[in-house]
Amino acid sequence: MCSLPSGHVIIADNLNENVKLLDQHYKVSSHCDLSSPPTDICQITSSEVAVSHVNGGVQFISVRNGQLVKGRKFQLPHKAEGIAHHKGTLYVTSGKALYHYALTGTLIKKLYENTEHEHAVFKCAVSLAGDRLYVINAHHKLCTLATDGSLLSTIITPFPFCVHITPAGQVLVCGLDSHTVIQVDHEGRKELVTLASQKDGLIKPVSICCNTSIQQIIVGLHNNNTIMVMKLQ
């Protein structure tokens, strides 16, 4: 999921192979179909996002007059599991590696690789300053990298599924099987607090974003037709 400054939220719907636009009341106001199931989404501008596909494609989508409109797209030579953006740089994970791409789709560099299993380099996020990259290893790890791909730190956390950087710079991690959303420190060295858990009704969280226009956190749940909305403290 991705929250825009307008207060709209864009959701990549893997099962239905489309992207949905939610209004300020979280009602679906527009959608567009994709050629294959989307795997992740990131903000490019105040009105444009990039969506990664299971087949390795990247589709750009804009919000115009309250509707979703497809833009340019390009194909990658590998799977696209996760995608993140910072000042013209796209970071894309393949499940086993993290790549640095230009917005045109030109490969700049393979930054990091881990081939121990299919989801060792799963989802990713970039710090607000652009000086740290956070990579989910779906087997119990959150890895923090420098922008040259060197490993800075690793934290053990049960079955992480996604990592999100809030507009205030906090690092949030969804734990799929632990049914939690936790905050870790900026350096990626320790867990700070559990923001939500199963006792709050959280079941298998797989995505998260902050809607700062109304001070809320939105959490997507695995194989579930609902989203959870929490008030920012």
Strand extents, DSSP E, 15-139: 18-22, 28-33, 38-43, 48-53, 57-64, 67-75, 82-86, 89-93, 97-102, 107-113, 124-126, 133-137
Confidence band (pLDDT; 50, 70, 90) for 175?
very high
> CATH for 2-168?
2.130.10.10
Write out pLDDT tens, residues 153-171.
999 988 899 999 998 899 9
Q: What is the pTM of this model?
A: 0.95
Indicate the pLDDT class of residue 233, thresholds 50, 70 and 90. low
Query: Measured between alpha carbons, how far is 19 from 205 in angstroms, rounded to an integer?
Result: 19
